[in-house]
A and B are shown apart, each in its own frame.
Chain A
Amino acid sequence: MMFQDEGFYLSLKNVLIFILGSFILIMPFSFILALIITSKIKGKRFFRVSYFIPSILPLTALGLLWQFLLKGKGGLINNIFVSIGLDQWAMDWLGDPDIAIFSVVAVNAWIFCGLNMIIFASGMVSIPEEIYEAATIDGANGFQKVLYITVPLMKEIFKIFSILAVTQSIRVFAQVYVMTGGGPNGATEVPTTMLYNQSFVYNNFGGGNAIATFIVVTALVSTIVLNRLFQGKARSA
């Protein structure tokens, strides 16, 4: 029955958008932030704290805050667009079924960039300084150093990030539950919120259990497959 439900496929598509969001928004952005906080600039500590803070705050509080910032009428984001003359950009970010899921994914990225920045930074500080010095002597510029030294030497961290991006996207719940509750019209539903709504709102425990089984199987399979995939690559490389 679950497989005949269109909403179920929509929820899978939304998880996919979360995964894509991790790679398109979180990965490059937190990588750059990690470069900033591991570089030699002054005020590193302040930057580090300010980027990291959203990751530790209660998701419910942040979700509610963003719900109001993204409101169609009078929300902060729209107010900013209007005040700089971009009226046509003002939208009902969470109320329009076509864009709501992208708004949620963007907020999710805003929340978790800092955490991933710490993960990337931990990989960056373990790269020996001598390699960069040697590259400087050979005449490499900053951009080349990042591209040819930092990125290749951080392969392990990128693997970990990819596994996390998939496994954590399957678990997304609070952000969606708080900001949209799965609406408008099921447009932002993910499997976990669907499970919750089916079981505890519509009292359809059978349907809920089917989704629960699906979540367990996908989580286990994706973790095992990703681990295998990356281990295999590491060995051949």
Chain B
Amino acid sequence: MKIGKIVIYGFAILCSIFFLYPLFFNLLSSFKDNEGIYNEILALPTKWRFENFVAAFESANIHISIINSIIYATFGTLLSLILGLLASYPLARFNFKLNTPIYLYYTLGLMIPVFSMLIPISQIVTAINGFNNYFVMIILYAVFELPLTIFLITGYMKDLPKELDESAIMDGCGPYRLLFQILAPLTMPAISTAGILAFFGIYNDLVWNVLFITDHDMYNISMGLLTFVGKMGTSDMGPMFASIFITIIPTIIVYLFFQEKIEKGLGSGSVKG
């Protein structure tokens, strides 16, 4: 029994080293110069080079990339949630004949990988001259998150008792008030799951930013990192590790704050998606 416990703890600790050490190595390396990164892989930096972080901010503009990612993610998520809520309301609460085909049409978007739409969408964006445009990007992101949002919110809203609507309407409640003041608060678990999934999806996006953003001031974290690393190569790796670490920090902070919600959200989202 005792030995079994030690084995389990040992294994558990070994695994956490396995998952955390690369990130820890990244943190240490962000304070080192090339020499230290290559030769002293376990040691603390002999001289703490904070100038690596200064370089990450000054020549990689990593803070601008983070702000951009937050802008894309916040507004994209909000738009996706508003549209999703408006679409889910009739799908979940009304008895339209076309509800099932419309719902299936929306959820088809879950089965089709977004990559298959790279070409048509890039042609649309070229046609409307929508490169380097926050507005275009936010609409794109929101629409890509929409199928999952509608799927999650409709599924949840359907299970709320129908009597709610009836008694609210009886009391003279209009459809907007019914949706935003009665149904939406009750659907909050699904809305927050959808919101978390959308936010992380957009925040971490790579391919749409690669395609449609050429302006350095509008890069998101992925593009910011890729260009910086492409420019620096391996000549000076400290600033590169510093910039990677800076982009990781906001995500870790958000995760530690909303740990359970995020785990549940990502878990259930991928199960259903």
Contacts and interface: CB of A to CB of B under 8 A. Distances in A.
Interface of A: 32-33, 36, 39, 41, 43, 46-61, 64-66, 68-69, 71, 74, 76, 79-80, 83, 110, 113-115, 118-119, 122, 142, 160, 164, 167-168, 170-171, 173-174, 177-178, 192, 195-196, 199-200, 205, 208-209, 212-213, 215-216, 219-220, 223
Contacts of A79: 38, 41
A47 B9 CA distance: 10
Interface residues of B, number: 58
Contacts of A164: 270-271
Nearest to A33: B15
B25 A59 contact: no
Contact of A199 (B113, B118, B226, B252): B118
Contact of B247 (A58, A71, A177): A58
Question: A interface, by DSSP: helix, strand, loop or mixed?
Answer: helix
Contacts of A199: 118-119, 122
Contacts, number: 173
Interface string B1-36: 000110011011001101110110110000000000
A58 B203 contact: yes
Interface of B: 4-5, 8-9, 11-12, 15-16, 18-20, 22-23, 25-26, 37-38, 41, 111-113, 115-119, 122, 200, 203-204, 206-207, 211, 221-222, 225-226, 229, 234, 237, 240-241, 244, 247-248, 251-252, 255-256, 259, 262-264, 266-268, 270-271
Contacts of A110: 18-19, 22
Contact of B116 (A122, A167, A215): A215
7 contacts: A58-B221, A59-B204, A68-B240, A80-B41, A113-B19, A177-B207, A215-B116
Contacts of B22: 65-66, 69, 76, 110
A110 B254 CA distance: 21
A69 B37 CA distance: 10
B23 to A, nearest CB: 7
